[in-house]
Amino acid sequence: MIPTTLTLGVEEELQLIDPSTFELVSAATHVAALADHALAPRLREEVHQGVIEIVTDVCSDVATIREGLVANRIAVRDLAGRAGLAIAAAGVHPFSDWRAQVFTDTPRMGWVARELGGPAPGLTCFGLHVHVGVPDDDEAVAVINRLRPYLPHLLALSTSSPIWNGRPSGLMSTRAELRRALPRTGIPDAFASYADYRRHVDLLLRTNSIDIERRLWWDVRRSPHYPTIELRISDMPTRIEDTVALVALSQALIAHLLAEHRRGVAYDVVPTSLIEENRRRAMRFGVRCQLADFSLGTEVPFASAMDQLIRLVSDAATELGTRDELEQIRRIVSDGTSAEHQLAVHAASRDPREVVDWLLRETQRDIPHE
């Protein structure tokens, strides 16, 4: 029986774009100030002013998440439009200079600027955060331990940042590489229990390594504010339907791993360094990568690895009613992620502005127009 506590929430970090120059615009505070009382609570400040983050309500199922994502993109599209701007969904901006972006002037964001010594390219990135409800702290830590080896799969499926500083970077997820330069990012170590995790966090707090728990910017974490597992590894998908597929996969995978934990199914704790090897492959080649199967000592094509993963979670997806959404993962693998399509546009035009133009249109592909 799938727990009814596996609720869902999604945070989308969207780019604010000048529709005439296609530049990233530092206007988040101005745009957010235009929101009405219904929309304002769903908007969140971020480190720099080129991003506007919007969150869904807590949702009981993937179908409701889809409705929330559509409503949110319509709301932010219209809000940005009132300021003469547009929105785009991707992991980085293809050509705007990260050094020109304006920091958000608040005490919380000021702490980040002081720690890093000023603006940093890893902060001018845009990600998707997926929350899956697991109320019990010890169960959440146990599931995260089992989840760690699958994080590269989620990164590969979401890659949307292949062009940076006006040209292809050589990576499908430039965002993943840029964020590695920030502290406390990447794959977290496994923890023996929630108490073990708390000792780690409290030590960082006592030694002034962090000022609050949310400075842990790992690819997956126990949310500091909600009774959820928070998946943070993904680039910001351009299409809503890709985000929905990733949410469905994340929920079904966590449901499956939680069930295994409760049954006492044994598993191997994969060393962080080995998971990082697959993270690098996903970052470099996306869904065309070869993943390493360290238990067998072989390489596996990503498409085969995803077939195996979909079979693994199919029973959970059936019980959750998300088999159709899960099948969309196969479409992403076959058709390519946003990163592949951006590279194709750039190869044809040699103009990163054409890539942004494509992003502006594709960001709205799955939402109704006025």
At 39-48, the pLDDT tens digits run: 999 999 888 8
Query: What pLDDT was estimated at residue 111?
Result: 72
Domains of the chain: which residue ranges? 8-363
Q: Which two tokens stand for residue 24?
A: 């990233």
Query: What pLDDT was estimated at residue 299?
Result: 96
Query: What pLDDT was estimated at residue 2?
Result: 65
CA gap 327, 1 in Å, rounded: 22
Neighbours of 199 (CB within 10 A): 13
Query: What pLDDT was estimated at residue 99?
Result: 87
Query: What pLDDT was estimated at residue 4?
Result: 65
Query: What pLDDT was estimated at residue 370?
Result: 60
Residue with tokens 């009613």: 321
The per-residue DSSP string of 45-99 comes to: --SBTTEEEEEPPPBSSHHHHHHHHHHHHHHHHHHHHHTT-EEE-SSS-SSS-GG
The length of the chain is 370
The parts of the chain modelled with pLDDT lower than 70 are 1-4, 108-110, 118-119, 370
For 31, the enclosing helix (H) or strand (E) is helix 28-32
Residue with tokens 């559509």: 70
Query: What pLDDT was estimated at residue 174?
Result: 98
User: What angle, rounded to 10 degrees, do the helices at 194-206 and 137-147 form?
Assistant: 90
CA gap 362, 340 in Å, rounded: 13
CA gap 154, 232 in Å, rounded: 10
For 237, the enclosing helix (H) or strand (E) is none
Q: Which two tokens stand for residue 154?
A: 């989620």
Query: What pLDDT was estimated at residue 101?
Result: 86
Architecture of the CATH domain 8-363: 2-Layer Sandwich (3.30)
CA gap 283, 128 in Å, rounded: 15
